[in-house]
Amino acid sequence: MGHVFDQNLARLYEAWQKSPEGILLDRLSSELILRLLRPQKGERILDIGCGTGNHLLLFYRSGFDVTGLDASPYMLDIARSRLGDKASLKIGRAEDLPFEDNEFDLATLIITLEFLDDPLEALREAGRVARNKVFVGVLNSLSFGCMCRRFYTLFHDSIFTEARLFTLWGLKSCVRKALGNVPVEWGSAQMMPYFLRNYTERVEMSSLVQSYPFGTFLGLVSKMTYTLKTENLRVTERLKKGVESLTGIPDS
C-alpha cells in the first residue's frame, strides 16, 4: 500500500501546497500537465492519489468529468471540503483500483508514485482503467529543488522524508515495464532555483526550457495502444476448428 498520510501529514501536505514555493510549482506544473494531456471537454478523468484535490480542481475547471481516489481518509476530507459535489471521491489503493476496465478516458498519478510500495502495479492499474492516456507526474531527483528539499528533511519534519524520487529515465523504464512499448511525451517544470522566481518564471513557461530533464517536476503522458494477436493455423486446422465449433463434436 505504501505510505498512507495520517492527519498530521495531510495538514503538512496542504501547508506545503499553500506555501509560495508550492504555489509556484503548482502553477508551472499545471501548465505542463494540460499541455501534455491536451484535454477534451467532457472526458472522464481519474486522479489516482488525488490527495487534497488540487489537481481535481484544475481538471474540473478545464471541463473534465472528475473522479478522485486516495488511500487517506484525511486527505479526502480536505478534498471534499474544497470540491463539494464537483467530483466523485473514493477511498482506495492505487494498486487495486475499484473500477472497471476502460471506465475512464484518462488516468493521472501526480506526486503519487513517490509514496507507493509497488509503483509498477499502480501503473498497470492506471492503464487498465484508462482507454486513452495515462499521465504520470513525479518529483525529479536530479533537480536543484529536490536536492534542496532532501537536505531540508535532514533537520525538519516533511512529507518528503519517505518519498521515492525519480529520474526521467527511471520513470520511462517503469512506464514501459507496466504498460508496454507505448508512445510517450514528456516535459519538466521549474528548472531554475526558487529564489530566482522573479526573474525566471516567464522563461520557465517556454516549451524549450520544459524539454530539459532537470526540472523539479517531471510529467510523462502515455497514449494507450491496444493490439489484437491472431493465431496462425493451416487451412485444414482452421476448417477442423470450424466444424467442432458448429457441431460441438470433435472431428475424428
199 in a domain, yes or no?
yes
Report the chain (252 residues): mean pLDDT per 10 consecutive residues. Answer: 71 79 86 91 95 94 95 93 94 96 97 93 97 95 67 50 83 95 91 62 71 87 70 53 56 52
pLDDT given for residue 155 in this prediction? 41
pLDDT given for residue 6 in this prediction? 76
Query: Whose CA is closest to 188, among 164, 167, 160?
Result: 167
* DSSP strand pairing (104-110 vs 130-139): parallel
2 in a domain, yes or no?
no
pLDDT given for residue 152 in this prediction? 46
CA–CA gap between residue 232 and residue 215 (Å, rounded): 48
Residue whose grid cell is 507507493: 116
246 in a domain, yes or no?
no
CA–CA gap between residue 68 and residue 127 (Å, rounded): 16
Range of the domain at 158: 7-227
pLDDT given for residue 248 in this prediction? 59
Half-sphere exposure (Cβ direction) of 187: Cα atoms closer than 13 Å: 20
Total domains present in the chain: 1
17 in a domain, yes or no?
yes
pLDDT given for residue 174 in this prediction? 95
- Strand ranges inside 102-242, DSSP E: 104-110, 130-139, 184-189, 217-223
pLDDT given for residue 151 in this prediction? 43
72 in a domain, yes or no?
yes
pLDDT given for residue 90 in this prediction? 96
CA–CA gap between residue 78 and residue 51 (Å, rounded): 8
Check which CATH number belongs to the domain holding 44 and give it. 3.40.50.150
Question: Which DSSP state fits 164?
Answer: P
pTM of the model: 0.79
For 74-114, what is the HEC assignment? HHHHHHHHHHHHHCEEEECECCECCCCCCCEEEEEEECCHH
176 in a domain, yes or no?
yes
26 in a domain, yes or no?
yes
pLDDT given for residue 80 in this prediction? 95
Query: Whose CA is closest to 96, among 221, 208, 216, 1?
Result: 1
Q: Which helix (H) or strand (E) holds 65?
A: strand 65-70
The residues facing 68 across adjacent strands are: 47, 89
252 in a domain, yes or no?
no
Give residues with Cβ within 8 angstroms of 220, minimum separation 6.
Answer: 36, 135, 136, 137, 168, 171, 172, 175, 184, 185, 186
C-alpha cell, 17: 501546497
